[in-house]
Structure 1
Amino acid sequence: MPSQSSKSITAWVITVVALGMSAFQLYTAQFGLYSAMVQRPIHLLFAAALVLLIFPVARSMSGASYPLYLRLWDWVLISASAASLLHIVATYKDLVSRGGAATETDLWLGGLVILLVLETTRRVMGPSLPIITIVAIAYTLLGHHIPGLWGHRYIDLEQLISYQYLTTEGLFTIPLGVSASFIFIFILFGAFLVASGTGEFFIKFANALAGHLRGGPAKVAVLSSATFGSISGSAVANVVSTGSFTIPLMKKIGYRPVFAGAIESVASTGGQFMPPVMGAAAFIIADMLGVTYLEVCKAALIPAVLYFFALIYMVHLEARRRDLRGLNRSELPNLFKTIKEGGHLLLPAALLVFLLVQGYSPMKAGLWAMVAVVVISWFKKETRMGPRAILEALEKGAKGSLEVALACACAGIVIGCVTQSGLGLKFSSLVIQASGGSLILSLVFVMIASLVLGMGLTTSAAYILTIILAGPVLVDLGVAPLAAHMFVFYYACLSCITPPVALAAFAAAGLAGSKPFPTGFESMRLAIIAYLVPFIFVYHPVLIWQGSWYAIILSFVSATLGCMAIGSSLMGFMNHRLNLLWRLLLMAAALGLIMPGLQSDLAGGALLGLVYAYTNYRSRKMEPEPAVDA
């Protein structure tokens, strides 16, 4: 077993490598990226080295139980990673001069890189993505034996390795490029916000703002998770960080454990598609589509607002139905005092949005917003970031990027296999043939693919893999490219709360002390609007700002009323408890209101008005409920 001194040396090495990774990324953010075949391999080298230093061969061997011979094996793999990735950095110019022809050294080192990416991804993410990648490689090498449309021309191992290692069409393609530029900077920005106390401020501010209202702690969970989740980009991390505060408070005032866990998981998941940051996903989508960051944020805004409005509305109905109160003001922070003590911490996020609107590159905007976090933290003694806090944030940011970096590397291998084998070109024909040319069936197939892939992968990896295969299918069937990408991305996010592998819901269940599967199904019920809206904006892109101002405003207002109708239908409450007939009428009203179109809006609005008038009349005849706090 390694001695205490060797463990401390390893910890120091981890710190140095993590700081080196952050320094490299910050340097290129300010002074410009290197060429793709330099920037991306160096980024991958840092990530692979950190994974091999931090994550053991098997999770059960962590800590003192990790044998010395395995630690030595990790150092062998780190050396192999350095040799194979720095080789491409040193010889990429020579590669161009020889017309991309691979040498024997290239082939050996290229094969080694692919194996190292599979192993490091397995260590940090588990076996799901490496298995998908191995299946893709096997299909590329053996697919010529498959008859019919699923087969392809003969591709040997040398051709596969050359394509993956020596071009920007395989391992070093767009996903890894986005990770090596935009994503890392925003993960680092999030680490600086957390280090400055911004995450804690979000929770205090939300408590001061809404904690005293009926069902206040649940509304606090929604508000704090929406804001913090947009920056963190990880639903599970968001659940663990904010849920540890909000879930006990929800249970304290009377929310069922299953409901409390579901609220936190749904709110944390929604943070991934809440502008402005969207967990850096906005930059991946923008890069894949070749559009501006603001265009993606604009498209995500209305669906995200509808999602959180529906969630808060259902939280409020549950509180009314169970007559749950908020917290006493004596238990809550003072709003004015909270803003006075920590309001300055919001300025870096405002600066980030301002710089992006002004046309600065995402990397430059993220870098200067990060600098602003440090400068602004010095406005108050309680939030001041010293050198130690800055170094810790740099280290945590680098460690926080590992999952995304390796997922993007593995996704790049799959993309290379899809393009080299020609499957990407044929997949559209295969899906269209299977669906009989029906758009709705194709959308259902793509939805299922996004949900299934997302159950074992990060949201970014699930989105990238699905859009590479399914994106052309939807575009061929007449879907607008932006709508197609947003459709896939939404369901990749929703995989976090969709059983059987609902990671965010299961994490929340652990904090709430509830059973995982009931929490997952309750999460699906609360997030029902997010399962419906992507189908709506595919058929009617007005909800992603594709249309006139009049049409956008009308659709937004009607969809908001639709969220109220669907929330009341699912919760069985509007002014008083509803029987099945009235709930079905409300569901019909919701579908009419959410679907853009004047006739459907009028029909849905009439139904909603009818139910509201009836419930209001009934509630007046019944004994009045206790007064609502707010």
Structure 2
Amino acid sequence: MPALSAFLGTGSRRTPEGWVGRIAKPYSALVALGIVYTTTIEIVDVFAMTIVFLGLMLALVFLYVGATTESSKDRVPWFDLLFAGAALASSAYFWLHNERIITRITLLDPLTTADVVSGSVLLLLTLEATRRTVGPGLTVIVLVFLAYNLWGDRLPGVLGHGPIDYRHFLDILVFTTDGIYGVPVRVALTYVFLFGMFGTFLSRAGGGDFFFDAAAALTGRRPGGPAKIAVVSSGLYGTISGSPTADVVATGSITIPMMKKLGYSGTLAGGVEVAASTGGSILPPVMGSAAFIMAEFTGIRYVDIALAAIVPAALYYFCVYYQVHLNSVKLGLRGLDESGIPKLRDTLRGGGVFLLPLVALVTALLLGYSPNYVAAFGTLAILAAAALSSRTRPSVAMIYSVLAETTTRVVPVVAACAAAGLVVGGLSMTGLGAKFTDLIFLVAGSNPLATLVLAALVTLLLGMGMPTPSVYILAAVLIAPAILKLGVPMMAAHLFLVYYASLSAMTPPVAVAAFAAAPIADANPIGIGLAAVRIAIVGFFVPFAFIYSRELLLIGESWRVAIAIVAAFASVACLCLAVEGFWRQRFGWTSRALFLAAGVGLMSPSLVARGVGALLGAVALLLVLRQAPGRAAAVES
């Protein structure tokens, strides 16, 4: 059954040649121009544009992604041309009947035969596009939910629901804004695409090289220099890409070989890169697609989400950086040779202009512009900054190439968002979301901490093999209501889920970022995922900290916010010391236990608990300092 097994995975990327290739690239560039025009200059009806957008992007899937990994890398077979044509035809049908679809009464006005045929074609093409671009994980989950919609009425007890026939099923999923044309695809059109263009322009203009050189100049000469370069550069790159896997491939191809050359094992080098890249999805100002979807789901302004995420993201990266530092010193890993480190002054002189787009981005956000205009302003700032130097000055050919590249890079995100929309629409039909909330409380009882732990575990479980936006969408529908019932504010509850949806990219057994790092590190992906989790383990507790201490989201009186932030950073430091068992020298389990207790106390919202935590941390530090160097080498750690 080799042929069947090939169809159970993702497809392979291809570069079409011949007449298809001559059409595909201009087509991609025109799609990008059309999206920019209709989302920033001449705003059109969003529902109509969403219809057109999804059809255009689905067609690109079948042109640029083969059916299996064994598919031709340059030839587009006849059936993929047929699928691309069917995607365009079905969307053309919906666009032509847009007014009727908007004004009809759902479930009362019957669907025509043409409606059913076009809707069924769109549904099947979306599932196949999801399988090819995202993989079987999300596809199987969508199929399970769709099967539940159609046949869940046969289940006994609370899991059962009323009968739903196929036309009812199709009506909700395709002909309303609750399904495939719902919030996820709309966000991909209005926000994700434009920020993807911002990131692509910044990278192609030289911004990615500047970020890497700046990270090398700042951290390269320190112990474990390549690993620290990975942490800083991946964070900077990740905040503009928003994709852990893309970040791993872009920065890991440089940092992982550097780390291995200086003595890191392939597993540890891959783990450092994966842990660093994963945080990009929660790092302002851009964050990732999930944050834009959160803004639409909750009605909270994106700028407020970005501001609230600053401290949690800083705590995460402090955790990863400090863990890398302790590990590097413990293993005796040196920094880079001075000859291989760029000078910071030269780096800023050559690429400092690329800080201007980030300044423009943040300024536009703070001035209250909507994210689509923020991305547009940022992109214009990139072009202006790049034009200041003859070395980076953008040409027409470069702009054309970036437009086409942006479109093809966003294709997997659109497919994932469309698939997630099918799940959301299905849940609205059956009321499974409310039942899932009851199930969480049944398992966790009335214990808020147990409910949060269960919510985190389920979110990580949902993330097996799925992209971050899809994980968050499912978690927002299934899990957020349970957290909100605890009295947790909307911002904290959804940011909690965004955070864990992002962390799922490195969590075994299906850690998508670890699998991306495996061929670069020449190491087992499960081992890389476990190494990444160990490096970032303290970061897994940060969401609990801001649930119980809202000051970490910059909410509350200034003095309380300041105390909470200082205590949180001290807590992370203590917990890292407890995990690593090292500070200047190895130390034993007594000191580790004290550091652990100190970290827990400092993370508490209680001022008394923080005081006790600070005292325990001081005692642990004194024990380590008083430990004789000769005895330290023999201490069990």
TM-score range relative to shorter protein: over 0.9
- Of 95, 99, 124 in structure 1, the residue corresponding to residue 133 of structure 2 is 124
With 182-191 and 133-142 compared, the bigger mean Cα shift is at: 133-142
Q: Identity of paired residues, percent?
A: 36
Q: Distance in 2 between matches of 1:5 and 1:488?
A: 37
1:517: Cα distance to partner? 2.4
CA deviations over 1:163-207 (Å, ceiling 9, x no partner):
122111111111111011101100111110111011111101111
- 1:63 equivalent in structure 2: 73
- 1:512 equivalent in structure 2: 521
CA contact (8 A) 2:591 2:624 kept: no
- Matches for 1:357-396 after TM superposition, within 5 Å: 357-396=366-405
CA contact (8 A) 1:498 1:520 kept: yes
Query: Are 2:254 and 1:248 aligned?
Result: no
Q: Distance in 1 between matches of 2:129 and 2:515?
A: 25
With 245-254 and 481-490 compared, the bigger mean Cα shift is at: 245-254
- 2:282 equivalent in structure 1: 273
- Matches for 1:211-360 after TM superposition, within 5 Å: 211-360=220-369
From the superposition, tell whether residues 536 and 98 of structure 1 become closer, same or farther in structure 2 (CA, over 3 Å).
closer
With 507-516 and 522-531 compared, the bigger mean Cα shift is at: 507-516
CA contact (8 A) 1:235 1:269 kept: yes
CA deviations over 1:60-79 (Å, ceiling 9, x no partner):
11326x6x7xx211122222
From the superposition, tell whether residues 173 and 560 of structure 1 become closer, same or farther in structure 2 (CA, over 3 Å).
same
CA contact (8 A) 2:149 2:429 kept: yes
State the TM-score, normalizing by the size of structure 1.
0.94
Query: Are 2:31 and 1:31 aligned?
Result: no
CA contact (8 A) 1:17 1:46 kept: no
- 1:89 equivalent in structure 2: 95
1:227: Cα distance to partner? 0.7
1:6: Cα distance to partner? 8.2
Query: Are 2:460 and 1:454 aligned?
Result: no
CA contact (8 A) 1:37 1:88 kept: no
Q: Distance in 2 between matches of 1:233 and 1:536?
A: 23
Structure 2 gaps of 5+ residues are 1-13
- 1:628 equivalent in structure 2: none
CA contact (8 A) 1:502 1:520 kept: yes
- 1:493 equivalent in structure 2: 502
- 2:615 equivalent in structure 1: 606
Query: Are 2:177 and 1:168 aligned?
Result: yes
Aligned with 2:221: secondary structure?
coil
Q: Distance in 1 between matches of 2:278 and 2:326?
A: 21
Aligned with 2:288: secondary structure?
helix
Corresponding letter in the other structure for 1:19: A
Q: Distance in 2 between matches of 1:19 and 1:230?
A: 24
1:468: Cα distance to partner? 0.8
1:417: Cα distance to partner? 0.5
Q: What is the Cα-based RMSD across aligned positions, in Å?
A: 2.0
Corresponding letter in the other structure for 2:91: L
- 1:627 equivalent in structure 2: none
Aligned with 1:61: secondary structure?
coil
Q: Distance in 2 between matches of 1:325 and 1:433?
A: 52
1:518: Cα distance to partner? 2.5
CA contact (8 A) 2:319 2:539 kept: no
1:527: Cα distance to partner? 0.7
1:16: Cα distance to partner? 1.9
Q: Distance in 1 between matches of 2:383 and 2:37?
A: 17
- 1:413 equivalent in structure 2: 422
CA contact (8 A) 2:549 2:564 kept: no
CA contact (8 A) 1:243 1:511 kept: yes
Q: Distance in 2 between matches of 1:403 and 1:561?
A: 40
1:32: Cα distance to partner? 4.5
1:281: Cα distance to partner? 3.1
Corresponding letter in the other structure for 2:412: E
Corresponding letter in the other structure for 2:46: A
1:623: Cα distance to partner? 11
Q: Distance in 2 between matches of 1:38 and 1:80?
A: 18
Q: Distance in 1 between matches of 2:435 and 2:525?
A: 39
Query: Are 2:602 and 1:593 aligned?
Result: yes
CA contact (8 A) 1:439 1:477 kept: yes
1:622: Cα distance to partner? 8.3
- Of 115, 126, 145 in structure 2, the residue corresponding to residue 106 of structure 1 is 115
1:98: Cα distance to partner? 4.6
- Matches for 1:521-536 after TM superposition, within 5 Å: 521-536=530-545
- 1:72 equivalent in structure 2: 78
Alignment: residue pair count: 617
1:35: Cα distance to partner? 2.0
Q: Distance in 2 between matches of 1:77 and 1:253?
A: 49
CA deviations over 1:299-340 (Å, ceiling 9, x no partner):
211111111112211222123223332222222112111111
CA contact (8 A) 2:56 2:87 kept: no
Q: Distance in 2 between matches of 1:5 and 1:483?
A: 43
From the superposition, tell whether residues 109 and 250 of structure 1 become closer, same or farther in structure 2 (CA, over 3 Å).
same
1:621: Cα distance to partner? 8.3
- 1:557 equivalent in structure 2: 566
State the TM-score, normalizing by the size of structure 2.
0.93
1:620: Cα distance to partner? 7.6
Q: Distance in 2 between matches of 1:308 and 1:496?
A: 16
Structure 1 gaps of 5+ residues are 625-630
1:362: Cα distance to partner? 0.8
CA deviations over 1:34-66 (Å, ceiling 9, x no partner):
2232111111111101101011122211326x6
